[in-house]
């Protein structure tokens, strides 16, 4: 498999795994009834439970379980018949109980698979587990210059975010390159968004990830020591961080050294990864089953209900577009990956117009238009139905492709109908063979030298005549027909 392999080295290959955290867009937090919110004044969405007051107890959010199950099923996981919560114990100001309620060795779901595309290659990444936990509160470091811990002289905690339902998705180390990692994340994010369980807004930290990266000699099959990369809050930074770390590890190993299993912090300003200097030793989380919560038993009926409610996922839709519309992978990918555009295309396709032609128009003129206008596909004057009718005009030769581009723009400007625009602006293609033959004859008669060149073997000179005919007809002649007539005339 050559997909996206870092071209830098052919003898070493990176082995990448990801741990992705997704904040759910439920109404309330994972274990209490406080509203999940973003950007509200600090500490306005708290209660005894999420502030960990003495005597407070957690109660599981039903919808969070449903949403977690959606994600797990969409990733093809096996739902555990019984799963439980565990306490993960450590001290930090953003963790009010000094333990996080999470899942440990009996998680919600295991053994899934996510298929994704890197260029024309389809890759598969195994999913180790999907589990539920609660998010930490927000910590702000103050008194220093950078807003980071180093140099700060105090910190402040806002518990609004604390307790938000968090889904953790852990992959096996199946990702073969930094580019693949980026694509994986991008497409995973798209899928989660389509599931409607999270807004996956990266700026608001609703999707976060850590990467585990090791390298090995190609063909080795063994896993090297891995490092953990943290704090990459954009896909670009992820790729950058990996592209910094991979060569670093290779260099160390080639020099005969060993990789230390450490956590590296990515600095977006320098693009470098540095070891997290911590006063403490590695965490001993002292996991034990959460006594305040009872086990979750997966009911077959519930699982089927959730499965039935899954929307068509992007990957499946892309495959379907390829099959149903005979589209190449690239076209299906552009059109099928995003819900609104896919629905727009399908609606237009119902008109029966040529699918490939429609695809070209949708990916080309239409997509450029909605992007420039900042509107969602399906909105605005160019409805699916209108676009379909315009493409039909091209298909039937009523209008030439370049003419149609003008029609498209005029249609938007004048908020008119395509047929009407063609009529009004006289953009109809001339397809009358008789009429065109006369023009062809005229042009041929005017250029005997080129006729000689053609007959001598320079076939491409036909283009010259076509051009002249197009000129003579102000571009309205049907180019295909002109081509035919020119060759006929030249053949003599």
Partner 1 sequence: MITEDDVRHVAMLARLHLTADETSRMAGELAKILRHIDKMSELDISDVPPTAHVLDLTNVLRADKAQPSLPRHEALKNAPAVTDDCFRVPRMS
Partner 2 sequence: MPGGGVDPLRLTAREAKRMLVEGEVSAAELMKVYLDQIERVEDKVKAFILVTADNAARYATEIDREAGASRGALAGMPTAIKDNMVTEGVVTTCASKILADYQPVYTATAVRKLWGDHVVTLGKTNLDEFAMGSSTENSGFFTTHNPWDLATVPGGSSGGSAAAVAAGEALWGVGSDTGGSIRQPASLCGIVGMKPTYGAVSRYGLVAFASSLDQIGPLTRSVYDCALLLSRIVGRDPHDSTSVRLPTEIELPKATTLDGLRFGVPREYLATGVQPGVRERFDETLMLIERLGGAVEEMSLPHTEYALPAYYIIAPAEASANLARFDGVRYGYRSAHADDLIEMYERTRGEGFGPEVKRRIMIGTYALSSGYYEAYYGQAQKVRTLVRRDFAEAFSTYDLIVSPTSPTVAFRIGERAADPLSMYMSDICTIPVNLAGLPAVSIPCGLADGLPVGFQLIGPAFSENRVLNAAHALEQAIGFTALPTFKDTTGKGEEA
455 binds partner 1 (CB under 8 A): no
139 binds partner 2 (CB under 8 A): no
- Interior angle at CA 84, CA 81 and CA 89, nearest 5: 155
153 binds partner 1 (CB under 8 A): yes
Among 139-147, 169-177, 181-189, 336-344, the segment contacting partner 1 (CB under 8 A): 139-147
Decide which of partner 2, partner 1, none touches 376; Cβ closer than 5 to 8 Å per partner kind: none
Task: Sort strands 263-267 and 227-230 into parallel, antiparallel or unpaired.
Answer: parallel
Please state whether 112 falls in left (phi above 0), alpha (psi between -120 and 50) or beta.
beta
Decide which of partner 1, partner 2, none touches 34; Cβ closer than 5 to 8 Å per partner kind: partner 1
Decide which of partner 2, partner 1, none touches 84; Cβ closer than 5 to 8 Å per partner kind: partner 1
What part of residues 91-110 is at the interface with partner 2 (CB under 8 A)? 91, 93, 96-99
In angstroms, give the least distance from the CB of 72 to partner 2: 22
Decide which of partner 1, partner 2, none touches 56; Cβ closer than 5 to 8 Å per partner kind: partner 2
Query: Strand, helix or coil at 449?
Result: helix
Between the alpha carbon of residue 344 and those of residues 214, 329, 387, 411, 485, the distances in Å are 43, 18, 10, 18, 38
In angstroms, give the least distance from the CB of 292 to partner 2: 5
322 binds partner 2 (CB under 8 A): no
Among 267-275, 288-296, 392-400, 423-431, the segment contacting partner 1 (CB under 8 A): 288-296
Closest CA to 192 of 119, 130, 133: 130
Closest CA to 117 of 333, 327, 296: 333
Decide which of partner 1, partner 2, none touches 97; Cβ closer than 5 to 8 Å per partner kind: partner 2
Q: Which residue reads 């039937």 in tokens?
A: 396
The C-alpha atoms of residue 40 and residue 156 are separated, in whole angstroms, by 16
> Which residues does 49 contact at the CB level (< 8 Å), separation at least 6?
31, 32, 34, 56, 57, 58, 59, 163
Contact 115, 150 (CB under 8 A): no
Task: Sort strands 109-118 and 99-102 into parallel, antiparallel or unpaired.
Answer: unpaired
Q: Would you say 113 or 138 has its CB closer to partner 1?
A: 138
Among 117-125, 148-156, 315-323, 467-475, the segment contacting partner 1 (CB under 8 A): 148-156
Q: Mask of contacts with partner 2, 39-68, x by CB under 8 A? A: ---------x--xxxxxxxxxx--------
What part of residues 287-306 is at the interface with partner 2 (CB under 8 A)? 287-288, 291-294
E strands present in 147-234: 154-158, 165-171, 207-217, 227-230
47 binds partner 1 (CB under 8 A): yes
Q: Would you say 6 or 133 has its CB closer to partner 2?
A: 133
93 binds partner 1 (CB under 8 A): yes
The C-alpha atoms of residue 348 and residue 37 are separated, in whole angstroms, by 38
142 binds partner 1 (CB under 8 A): yes
In angstroms, give the least distance from the CB of 67 to partner 2: 19
Q: Helices 339-349 & 314-325, crossing angle to 10 degrees? A: 20
The number of beta carbons lying within 10 Å of the beta carbon of residue 83 is 21
Q: Which residues bind partner 2 (CB under 8 A)?
A: 48, 51-60, 87, 89, 91, 93, 96-99, 155, 157, 279-280, 284, 286-288, 291-294
Q: Which residues bind partner 1 (CB under 8 A)?
A: 26-28, 32-35, 41-48, 51, 59-65, 82, 84, 91, 93, 140-144, 149-159, 284, 286, 289, 291, 293-297, 299
């Amino acid at each position: 498999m050559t997909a996206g392999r870092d071209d830098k080295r052919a003898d070493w290959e990176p082995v990448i795994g990801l741990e992705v955290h997704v904040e759910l867009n439920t109404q309330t937090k994972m274990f209490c009834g406080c509203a999940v919110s973003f950007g509200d004044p600090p500490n306005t969405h708290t209660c005894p439970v999420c502030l960990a007051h003495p005597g407070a107890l957690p109660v599981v959010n039903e919808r969070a379980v449903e949403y977690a199950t959606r994600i797990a099923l969409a990733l093809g996981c096996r739902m555990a018949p019984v799963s439980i919560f565990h306490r993960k114990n450590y001290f930090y100001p953003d963790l009010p109980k000094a333990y996080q309620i999470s899942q440990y060795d009996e998680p919600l779901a295991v053994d899934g698979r996510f298929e994704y595309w890197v260029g024309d290659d389809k890759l598969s990444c195994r999913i180790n587990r999907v589990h539920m936990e609660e998010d930490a509160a927000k910590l702000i470091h103050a008194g220093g210059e950078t807003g980071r811990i180093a140099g700060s002289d105090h910190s402040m905690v806002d518990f609004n975010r604390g307790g938000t339902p968090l889904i953790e998705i852990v992959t096996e180390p199946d990702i073969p390159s930094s580019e693949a990692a980026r694509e994986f994340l991008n497409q995973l994010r798209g899928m989660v968004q389509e599931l409607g369980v999270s807004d996956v807004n990266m700026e608001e930290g609703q999707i976060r990830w850590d990467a585990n990266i090791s390298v090995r000699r190609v063909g080795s099959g063994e896993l090297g020591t891995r490092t953990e990369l943290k704090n990459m809050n954009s896909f670009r930074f992820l790729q950058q961080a990996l592209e910094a770390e991979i060569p670093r590890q290779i260099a160390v190993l080639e020099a005969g050294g060993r990789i230390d299993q450490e956590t590296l912090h990515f600095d977006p300003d320098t693009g470098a990864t540095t070891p997290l200097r911590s006063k403490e030793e590695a965490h001993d989380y002292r996991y034990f089953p959460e006594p305040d919560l009872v086990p979750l038993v997966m009911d077959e009926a519930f699982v089927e209900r959730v499965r039935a409610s899954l929307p068509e996922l992007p990957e499946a839709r892309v495959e379907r577009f390829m099959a149903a519309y005979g589209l190449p992978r690239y076209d299906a990918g552009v059109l099928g990956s995003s819900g609104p555009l896919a629905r727009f295309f399908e609606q237009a396709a119902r008109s029966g117009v040529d699918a490939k032609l429609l695809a070209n128009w949708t990916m080309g003129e239409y997509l450029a238009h909605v992007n420039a206008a900042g509107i969602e596909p399906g909105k605005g004057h160019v409805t699916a139905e209108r676009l379909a009718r315009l493409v039909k005009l091209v298909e039937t030769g009523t209008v030439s492709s370049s003419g149609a581009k003008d029609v498209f723009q005029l249609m938007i400007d004048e908020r008119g109908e395509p047929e009407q625009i063609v009529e009004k602006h006289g953009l109809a293609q001339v397809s009358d063979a008789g009429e065109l033959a006369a023009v062809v004859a005229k042009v041929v008669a005017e250029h005997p030298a080129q006729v000689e060149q053609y007959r001598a073997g320079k076939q491409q000179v036909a283009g010259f005549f076509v051009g002249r005919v197009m000129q003579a007809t102000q571009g309205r002649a049907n180019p295909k027909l002109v081509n035919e007539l020119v060759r006929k005339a030249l053949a003599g």
